[in-house]
A = this chain, B = another copy of it.
Amino acid sequence: MSNIFETLESEVRTYSRSWPVVFTHASGATQTDENGREYLDFFSGAGALNYGHNNPVLTAPLLEYLASGAVVHSLDMMTPAKREFLETFQELILKPRHLDYKVMFPGPTGTNTVEAALKLARKVTGRQHILSFTNAFHGMTLGALSVTGNSLKRKGAGIPLTNSSKIPYDDYFDGTTADFMWLERILDDSGSGVDKPAAVIVETVQGEGGLRAARTEWLRSLSALLKRHEILLIVDDVQAGCGRTGTFFSFEEAGIEPDIVCVSKSISGYGLPMALTLFHPELDVWEPGEHNGTFRGNNPAFVTATAALRAYWADDKFEKQLAGTIATLHTGLEKIAGSVEGAGVRGRGLLAGVIFKDLEIASKVAAEAFANGLLVETSGPEDEVVKIMPPLNVTDEQLARGLEILAAAVRTAVESSTLAHA
C-alpha cells in the first residue's frame, strides 16, 4: 500500500521512522494510533506539551476564543489576547521572581528567539563573537545553527559556520578540571586568539545534546564571570523552561538573572507555535521593525498561554506537586541505571534520562519501549541517552507504569546487547 508520507514527504522526516504509526488522538500523557492502540507519551512533543496533550483547562478558552470571532493573526498589532498574556506574564511570572525583562515576540519558534537574542547581543555590545557550549542545541536557522554542536546538523548548513567558538559545558571532562578554566583563561589573556564575545549562550540542561545538566554553582560562576567581563549571558530556556525542571525558568534554582532569555516550546502550553525573547530593559535598543516575522502575533497561542499561566503558576501548588513527580522519576531512573553496569542518570527535573556505556543500548531501549506502548526519545550526539520527558502533570500511575515499561525495555536491550557481544 502506498503511503503518502513516504512518497510525498521529504526524506528529512524522522520521528515517523521510529514510531511508524499514525497518531489520531491524544490526551494528557497518552497518544492513540489509528488502530486504537494507546501509548504513554514520555516525549511531550519534544518539550512543547508540558501540560499534556489537549489539556481541557486550555482547550476550553481556546475553543471559546476561536468561536468568538476574535482576532487570530495580528503580527504585532495590539489585541486583548496579547494584552492579557503580557499582563499575566508580568503578574505571575516576572514580578514574583523580581525579574525586570522587556518582552519581545520574535516569531513563533525556538530558533527565532535564539536568532533574535544573538542579533541583539551583537548589536548591544558591538562585538561579533558568540561563545556556546559543546553539545549545545539552539536551532536550525543559520545563526542558531552556528552555536549548535551536532555535526550532522552543522554540516546541513553547506557553508562554514562562523563567528562563534565552543567552550566545554559543565563536567565535559568528567570533573577532572576546574570549572571555567578555559573560559577564564582566554578572557584574561589578550593573546588567546578567542575574540572577546558579545555573549555566551547556554542551556541549563542540554536537552538534545545528551541531557547533561549544569550544576547551580557552575551557572552562578558562569554568570558572575561574564558580569565581570561585561559579556552578556543568554539562557536558552526553550526546552528546559516553562516548568520542565521544577521551576518556571530553569535558572531560578541557581539564583542567576540572565541578560537575555529565550522561551518557546511550552509557553503556549498547548503545542501552538509561540516564542518570547526576554531581556533587560537597557538592552532594548531595537529599532522598530528591525527584527520581525509574520507569525509573531499568534493569538490562539496567547490565549492558551495565559490560561496555562493562570492554571499552573498563579500560586506554588503546581510547583510543589511537580517536585514530587520529579523525585519519583529520579528515584525510578536511579534504580534502572543502578541495574546496568556503567549506566547513569542524566538531566534535571522532568528533563532526564539514562546513559549507557554501550552506545547502542539507548536506541534499543527506545524501540523496545515503543513496542510496549511507551514513547521515549534518545538524546546525545550518538543517541546514547534514553530521554524521559513526561508531561509535568503526568499522573503517579502513569509515571509508575512508564518507568515499569522502561525498566523492562532496558533489561531486554541490555540482554540483547550482551548476547550480541558474547
The answer to whether A16 touches B159, judged by C-beta atoms less than 8 angstroms apart, is: no
Q: Mark A107-146, 1 if CB is under 8 A from B, else 0.
A: 1111110011011011100101100111110011111101
Q: Mark A27-40, 1 if CB is under 8 A from B, else 0.
A: 10001001000000
A177 / chain B contacts, CB cutoff of 8 Å = 173, 176-177, 181
The answer to whether A111 touches B107, judged by C-beta atoms less than 8 angstroms apart, is: yes
The answer to whether B149 touches A191, judged by C-beta atoms less than 8 angstroms apart, is: yes
Q: CA separation between A31 and B109, bound complex, in Å?
A: 26
Q: Mark A56-69, 1 if CB is under 8 A from B, else 0.
A: 00010011001111
A5 / chain B contacts, CB cutoff of 8 Å = 78, 82-83, 86
The answer to whether B73 touches A272, judged by C-beta atoms less than 8 angstroms apart, is: yes
Is A26's CB within 8 Å of the partner chain B?
yes
The residue in A126, A136, A140, A264 that gathers the most chain B C-beta atoms within 10 A of its C-beta is A140
Q: List 5 A-B contacts (CB under 8 A).
A: A8-B102, A11-B287, A122-B158, A143-B157, A272-B300
Which one of B25, B83, B166, B294 contacts A45 once the chains associate, using CB atoms below 8 Å? B294
The answer to whether B79 touches A9, judged by C-beta atoms less than 8 angstroms apart, is: no
A128 / chain B contacts, CB cutoff of 8 Å = 158-160
The answer to whether A71 touches B83, judged by C-beta atoms less than 8 angstroms apart, is: no
A176 / chain B contacts, CB cutoff of 8 Å = 177-178, 181
The answer to whether A146 touches B153, judged by C-beta atoms less than 8 angstroms apart, is: no
A13 / chain B contacts, CB cutoff of 8 Å = 76, 288
Q: Which residue of B lies closest to A135 (CB)?
A: B191
Q: Which of the segments A46-54, A341-349, A350-358, A398-406 contacts the partner chain?
A: A46-54
Q: How far is the CB of A242 from chain B (nearest CB, A)?
A: 12
Is A22's CB within 8 Å of the partner chain B?
yes
The answer to whether A80 touches B143, judged by C-beta atoms less than 8 angstroms apart, is: no
The residues in A between 305 and 353 inclusive whose CB is less than 8 angstroms from any CB of B are none
Is A235's CB within 8 Å of the partner chain B?
no
Q: CA separation between A17 and B290, bound complex, in Å?
A: 14
Q: CA separation between A345 and B232, bound complex, in Å?
A: 38
The answer to whether B112 touches A151, judged by C-beta atoms less than 8 angstroms apart, is: no
Q: Mark A152-185, 1 if CB is under 8 A from B, else 0.
A: 1111111111110110100011001110011001
A4 / chain B contacts, CB cutoff of 8 Å = 83, 86-87, 90
